[in-house]
Chains A and B, each alone.
Chain A
Amino acid sequence: MASTFQETLARLRETRVWKSIFRRGPALTNRTRSLAVFGNLFLHFLPVKVREKSLRVRATYYLGSISFLLFVVLAITGVLLMFYYHPAIPQAYRDMKDLQFVVSNGVFLRNLHRLAAQLMVLAVFVHMFHVFYRGGYKPPHEFNWVVGVVLLLFTLFLSYTGYLLPWDQLAFWAITVGTNIISAMPFLGKYVRFQLLGGNVVGENALLRFYVLHCVVLPLAAVFLIAIHFWRVQKDGGLTVRDEDGRKKD
C-alpha cells in the first residue's frame, strides 16, 4: 500500500498542476529540498534543518508548538461559536445558554474553547519559563524574547476579553473589577477605561467592544506576532540547544 501511495505521489509530483502550485518538481537533493521549504509561503519561516537533539522528547518538549496548536483550536472553535452568538444584551446570555442546552454539540465546542483557552494561558506561561531557564532570551534571541512577552500579554488580553462574552454574573463582575483596576493607572486610567467600555459602566457598548477585540483585533495582532516569532526562531539559529550540546555559548 505504502509503495503504491508513494508511487502515486511521485507521479503526481511530475504533473504540470503540481509544478504550477509548488513551483518545482520533486525535491530529491538537499539543495532542492531546502529550496522547496524556502519557496513555500507556509514553510518558509521554518528551519530547513533541525538538529536531532532539539527534537528529543523531554518533559518540556514542544511547549511553544503546544501553545500554537491551542491557538489554532481556539480559532476554529471560536469561529464555530460565532455562528450562534450575538454580542447584545440580553441575547448574549441566551445564546450562551442555547449553546449549552439546545445546539447540537454546542456544549462540547464551548467547553473545548474554554478549556483550550485556560490551557493556552498555562502553556504560554510554561513555555516562557522554559525559555527563561534555558537562557533563550540571550543574544541573538533578545528580540524574539520580547515578541514572546508581548504574545503572552496578547494571550492574557484574549482571555480577559473572552471572559465578558457569556454575559453572566461572573463575567459582569470580573470585567467591572478588572476595568476598575485599569482606572487605577496614573493619569490615563480613566480615559483607557472609558474607551475600553465605551461608557462609564459595563453595558452594551462594553460587550460589543470586547467582542470585536476578542474576535478580530487581538487574534489578527496575535497571528501577525506569531508569524514574526516563528520566523525569528529560524533566523536566529533555530531552537536553543547549545548548552546541552556541550557547545560554547556565543
Chain B
Amino acid sequence: MTPTDKPESGGAKPKQPNGEVSRRDFLNEIAFSALGVAGVGSAVVTYRYLSPNVLFEPPTKFRAGSPELYPVNSVTFLPEQQVYVVRTSDGFYAVSAVCTHLGCVTQWKPDSDQIACPCHGSKFKPDGTKIEGPAPRPLPHFLITLTLDGELQVDKLENVKPSQVLKV
C-alpha cells in the first residue's frame, strides 16, 4: 500500500478489522485516564491542603465562672466568646450574641431591656426572640451546665430549646 491509497493513515486511528481496540487507542485511554485521576487527585489534595486542621480561634466550649458572679435578673456579655449569660429568677441560660442576620455582634441595651444589632437594626428580647429587624431567626440558646467543681460551662456547638433553663 502506498500512502495515497490510505490518506487518513497520517494521524487517524488505525481501524481494526475485527472491531477490537487497537494498541494505540488502548494506551491513549490508559494515559488520559491516568491524567484525569491525577488531576482529580491534585484538586482533592489542594482542597485538603487549604482547609486548616488547627484553628487559633476562641474555644467553642468554655467555662463562664462561678454562678455567684451573675446577679439575679441580669444579662452579662462575654466579649471573647460572644455569648450572653442570662440569669433570671428561674435560673441560667446562654444566648448567642451573634446576629442571625449577617453575623454582626449584638449589644445588650439595659435601658430598653433589648439586645440590639448595630449593623442592620435587628432587636431581640433577652431570651433571644426577635422584636424587629431583618434577622430571620431568634438568637440560638447554647447548652449551659455546671461542672463538678461548681462553675458554669457553655458549649456553643450544642443548641438547646429556649425553655431549657439551668437551675442552680
Q: Which residues of A contact B103 (CB under 8 A)?
A: 176-177, 179-180
The reply to whether B57 and A194 contact each other, CB–CB distance below 8 Å, is no
Q: Which residues of A contact B56 (CB under 8 A)?
A: 203-204
Question: Which residue of the partner chain B has the closest CB to A199?
Answer: B55
Min distance, Cβ B71 to any Cβ of chain A, angstroms = 30
The reply to whether B51 and A194 contact each other, CB–CB distance below 8 Å, is yes
Q: A200-B57, A203-B57 are in contact. Are A177 and B51 (CB under 8 A)?
A: no
Q: A200-B57, A201-B57 are in contact. Are A173 and B52 (CB under 8 A)?
A: no
The reply to whether B102 and A180 contact each other, CB–CB distance below 8 Å, is yes
B38-62 Cβ-contact flags toward A at 8 Å (1 or 0): 0000000001001110011110000
Q: A173-B119, A195-B50 are in contact. Are A181 and B102 (CB under 8 A)?
A: yes
The docked-state distance in angstroms from the alpha carbon of A249 to that of B51 is: 51
B131 close to chain A: CB less than 8 A: no
A106 close to chain B: CB less than 8 A: no
Q: Which residues of A contact B58 (CB under 8 A)?
A: 201
Determine which of B50, B57, B104 lies in contact with A177 in the assembled complex, contact meaning CB atoms within 8 Å. Answer: B104
The docked-state distance in angstroms from the alpha carbon of A199 to that of B56 is: 9
The docked-state distance in angstroms from the alpha carbon of A198 to that of B57 is: 11
Q: Which residues of A contact B102 (CB under 8 A)?
A: 176-177, 180-181
A159 close to chain B: CB less than 8 A: no
A240 close to chain B: CB less than 8 A: no
Min distance, Cβ B106 to any Cβ of chain A, angstroms = 12
Chain A-chain B contacts (Cβ-Cβ < 8 Å), number: 31
Q: Which residues of B contact A176 (CB under 8 A)?
A: 102-104
Q: Which residues of B contact A199 (CB under 8 A)?
A: 52, 55, 57
Determine which of A177, A181, A203 lies in contact with B119 in the assembled complex, contact meaning CB atoms within 8 Å. Answer: A177
A205 close to chain B: CB less than 8 A: yes
The docked-state distance in angstroms from the alpha carbon of A77 to that of B104 is: 32
Q: Which residues of A contact B55 (CB under 8 A)?
A: 199-200, 205
The reply to whether B52 and A205 contact each other, CB–CB distance below 8 Å, is yes
Q: Which residues of B contact A181 (CB under 8 A)?
A: 102
Min distance, Cβ A160 to any Cβ of chain B, angstroms = 15
The docked-state distance in angstroms from the alpha carbon of A201 to that of B98 is: 11
Question: Which residue of the partner chain A has the closest CB to B118?
Answer: A173
Q: Which residues of B contact A173 (CB under 8 A)?
A: 104, 119
Determine which of A177, A180, A198, A201 lies in contact with B52 in the assembled complex, contact meaning CB atoms within 8 Å. Answer: A198
Q: Which residues of A contact B57 (CB under 8 A)?
A: 199-201, 203
Min distance, Cβ A192 to any Cβ of chain B, angstroms = 11
The docked-state distance in angstroms from the alpha carbon of A194 to that of B51 is: 8
Q: Which residues of A contact B50 (CB under 8 A)?
A: 195, 198
Question: Which residue of the partner chain B has the closest CB to A202?
Answer: B103
A168-187 Cβ-contact flags toward B at 8 Å (1 or 0): 00000100110111000000
The docked-state distance in angstroms from the alpha carbon of A176 to that of B119 is: 11
Within B31-83, the residues touching A (CB, 8 Å) are: 47, 50-52, 55-58
Q: Which residues of B contact A179 (CB under 8 A)?
A: 103
Question: Which residue of the partner chain B has the closest CB to A176?
Answer: B103
Instruction: Please name 23 pairs of A and B residues whose Cβ atoms are closer than 8 Å in the assembled complex, sorted by A.
Output: A173-B119, A176-B103, A176-B104, A177-B102, A177-B104, A179-B103, A180-B102, A180-B103, A181-B102, A194-B51, A195-B50, A195-B51, A198-B50, A198-B52, A199-B52, A199-B55, A199-B57, A200-B55, A200-B57, A201-B57, A203-B56, A203-B57, A205-B55
Q: Beyond the given A176-B103, A180-B103, please list 10 additional residue pairs across the A-B interface where CB-CB is below 8 A.
A: A173-B104, A181-B102, A195-B50, A199-B52, A200-B55, A200-B57, A201-B57, A203-B57, A205-B52, A205-B55
Give chain A's interface residues, CB within 8 Å of chain B.
173, 176-177, 179-181, 194-195, 198-201, 203-205
Give chain B's interface residues, CB within 8 Å of chain A.
47, 50-52, 55-58, 102-104, 119
4 tightest Cβ-Cβ pairs between the two chains A and B: A180-B103, A177-B102, A180-B102, A199-B55
